[in-house]
Structure 1
Amino acid sequence: MKHAFVTGGTGFLGANLIEQLIECGWQVTALHRPESDTRLAHNFGAELVEGSLADISSLQRAVPENIDAVFHLAANTSMWRGRRAQQWRDNVEGSATLARVARQKNAGRMIVTSSISAYGYQKNPIDEQSPQLADDPRHGYLYTKKRAEIAVRKEIEQGLDAVFLNPCAIVGKYDVTGWAQTFLLMAGNQLPGVPPGSGSFCHVAEVAQAHIDAFARGRCGDNYILAGIDASFLEFFATIARLLNKPEPKRTTPAAAIYGLGWLSDLVSRFTGREPAITPEKAALVNRCLIARCDKARRELGYSGDVPLETMLRESRDWLLTRGLLPSDENETVKETSH
């Protein structure tokens, strides 16, 4: 039986990965912080160990010697300047520490969940030959994801076997804090507008499977972009509206208005100390076209990236319904669209 050590196992992608690993017969040890909700990971059958990426001694205790795989999914995804210092500690220093421990513990392979964000914002579709342009520290998430890869590569130079996966926008079950938030906003008639950008959307089950395939078939030191269905945010939000039996948005909000709201909200946050719903970093993300290609992952990992947008969004909606996170008056109407 293969043994996997997983960080970020209490998150959206991590829960899907643990579920698939257990189904494939793996033994799974999942790292978690004291405040994390561990119910899904526990129900799937993972062994839970408390620790922190910031505490090397806790990692040395938690990571078993000669473990087959270390799946590093944990990340600080904040897009607010107020969390940049912590984000650097989590994403860059935490990745460096875990990679060092994985090498010292003779892990068979480390699979690093990076992000398409490591490539920065580019005008043309991104593939693995594209330069990684995430060099503006004002875009903290992008900046730290690139530097987390650099930190792990230093351990590769010392003998660590590691592979990097760069997913695009992930959609599917077990999500309550990512793109699933759009369902909650739209269900509550709180959606402030539709941004003019676009992106590549990928199904969480396929992304999780790609992690397992990268363990078996990936090449050490290589990046694999996990893209999917290209869509504008207008298409994305319209699909969610249909799944909620809500009126479909017909036009986008001007980019200037979204940028203005982001800067105004950021100014207010300097006094309140609270992260706003829209920040300059988020405005930059949703106003751009961030499209990627996954031909290499298809060739070498067997990745598909062909799950229809409506299929992955329907799965996300149904999960929210099972958790009672959509308003009760929505439950009756959307069930009709499930048949």
Structure 2
Amino acid sequence: MKKILVTGATGYLGGRLCAALLRDGNSVRALVRPTSDLSTLPRGEALELAYGDVTDYRSLADAVSGCHVIFHAAALVEPWLPDPSKFFSVNVGGLENLLRAVKESDAVEKIIYTSSFFALGPTDGHVADESQAHHQKFFCTEYEKSKVAAGKLALRAATEGLPIVMVFPGVIYGPGKLTAGNVVARLLIERFSGRLPGYIGKGSDKYSFSHVDDVVEGHIAAMHKGRIGERYLLTGENASFMHVFDIAAIITGTSRPRIHLPLWAIEVYGWLSVFFSRITGKLPLISPPTVYVLRHQWAYSCEKAKAELGYSPRSLREGLEEMIPWLKSLGQIKY
């Protein structure tokens, strides 16, 4: 039995990854902060809690000790924060600490590093694969900038001989925690509550949507089959949020939105939201960086992961047919 460490274990992806690894008969150590909400973590003797933080090297090194495989899924995922330096301390500094801890360990056989499609950059006018490199001419969000910097660290680690495999999920959606990383669920809640009365923009945006359980299976496949030093896109169907809303209308038997909200108006709303966020301390759902992202396309191919890992993403329609009734069962949406 392999001993597996999962960082970011209490996050949207991490919690479901821990559960899947335990179902497969692995022994899992979950890195959690003392203040973390543990309610979504699976229970059982095979799950060990290691208290610490990726920004605290000593606690991270202790968590790495004795583990054979590491899933580094810890990340700060927000479109905007009042203190942008936190993105680099967690997303870049956390990876630096992990790689240092692995170098000091003699047990680690493989690291699965969870990056992001943002690290590869926008794909305006085409569909990209793993060979794309971020142009770095501009960054829509500080999160994107931090993931590009972390990606360089991961690539350097691979050239230095560390056993790292890099995976790049798309826009993750599906049942689970309603965090900033579950943006599809949050936008659907806004849509069905009436707070988002129309489509966002003209529908020219393009994202690669990945169901959370497909991404989990892709991570596990990367552990078993992923080649050291390689990058794999764990993406899915490329579509716009307009298409998401249209599918949601069909599934729920409700009418489609009748208006398109222009991006300039959403950006104004975003600036107002940021202003009130600084007063209240509550992070906004929409901020100007969100709009900057929506002005570009982010469409990717997962053919490499299909061929080498056996990755098999479900369609957006299939995923939403599962997710929307789940949101209804929680009382988050009504139709």
Q: 1:190-269, aligned counterparts within 5 Å?
A: 190-195=195-200, 196=203, 197-267=205-275, 269=277
- Within the candidate set 173, 183, 191, 2:188 is matched to 183
Map of 1:87 onto structure 2: 87
Q: 1:112-123, aligned counterparts within 5 Å?
A: 112-123=113-124
Map of 2:38 onto structure 1: 38
C-alpha separation in 2, matches of 1:152 and 1:130? 15
Change (3 A) 1:184 1:43: farther
- 8 Å CA contact 1:175–1:316 kept in 2: the answer is no
The 10-residue stretch of structure 1 (307-316 or 2-11) with the greater mean CA deviation from structure 2: 307-316
**Per-residue deviation at 1:201?**
0.8
Which one-letter code corresponds to 2:190 in the other structure?
A: L
Which one-letter code corresponds to 2:168 in the other structure?
A: N
C-alpha separation in 2, matches of 1:293 and 1:168? 10
- Structure 2: 5+ residue runs without aligned partners? none
List per-residue Cα deviations over 1:275-305 (Å, max 9, x = no partner).
Answer: 3332111112233321111111111111122
Which one-letter code corresponds to 1:260 in the other structure?
A: V
Map of 2:150 onto structure 1: 148
C-alpha separation in 2, matches of 1:30 and 1:43? 11
The 10-residue stretch of structure 1 (3-12 or 154-163) with the greater mean CA deviation from structure 2: 154-163
List per-residue Cα deviations over 1:214-258 (Å, max 9, x = no partner).
Answer: 112112222111221122211101222344444222443223322
Map of 2:299 onto structure 1: 291
- Within the candidate set 319, 322, 326, 1:315 is matched to 322
**Any idea what SS the aligned residue of 1:15 has?**
helix
- Structure 1: 5+ residue runs without aligned partners? 334-339
Map of 1:9 onto structure 2: 9
- 8 Å CA contact 1:32–1:50 kept in 2: the answer is yes
List per-residue Cα deviations over 1:83-110 (Å, max 9, x = no partner).
Answer: 3111110100011111211232231110
Which one-letter code corresponds to 1:299 in the other structure?
A: A
Which one-letter code corresponds to 1:314 in the other structure?
A: E
**Per-residue deviation at 1:170?**
1.2
**Per-residue deviation at 1:135?**
5.4
Which one-letter code corresponds to 2:98 in the other structure?
A: L
Q: Establish whether residue 105 from structure 1 lines up as the match of residue 112 from structure 2.
A: no
C-alpha separation in 2, matches of 1:216 and 1:84? 36
**Any idea what SS the aligned residue of 2:207 has?**
strand
C-alpha separation in 1, matches of 2:136 and 2:309? 26
C-alpha separation in 1, matches of 2:237 and 2:259? 21
C-alpha separation in 1, matches of 2:324 and 2:51? 31
**Per-residue deviation at 1:164?**
0.6
**Any idea what SS the aligned residue of 1:176 has?**
coil
Q: Establish whether residue 304 from structure 1 lines up as the match of residue 306 from structure 2.
A: no
Map of 1:127 onto structure 2: 129
Please, what TM-score do these two structures have when normalized by structure 2? 0.89
- 8 Å CA contact 2:159–2:229 kept in 1: the answer is no
- 8 Å CA contact 1:167–1:225 kept in 2: the answer is yes
C-alpha separation in 1, matches of 2:322 and 2:149? 33
- 8 Å CA contact 1:112–1:162 kept in 2: the answer is yes
**Any idea what SS the aligned residue of 1:225 has?**
strand
- 8 Å CA contact 2:140–2:292 kept in 1: the answer is no
Which one-letter code corresponds to 1:252 in the other structure?
A: H
Which one-letter code corresponds to 2:42 in the other structure?
A: H
Q: Establish whether residue 159 from structure 1 lines up as the match of residue 161 from structure 2.
A: yes
C-alpha separation in 1, matches of 2:291 and 2:213? 28
Which one-letter code corresponds to 1:311 in the other structure?
A: E
Change (3 A) 1:64 1:315: farther
Change (3 A) 1:269 1:39: closer
Give the RMSD, CA atoms, in angstroms: 2.2
- 8 Å CA contact 2:70–2:110 kept in 1: the answer is yes
C-alpha separation in 1, matches of 2:272 and 2:121? 24
Q: Establish whether residue 74 from structure 1 lines up as the match of residue 82 from structure 2.
A: no
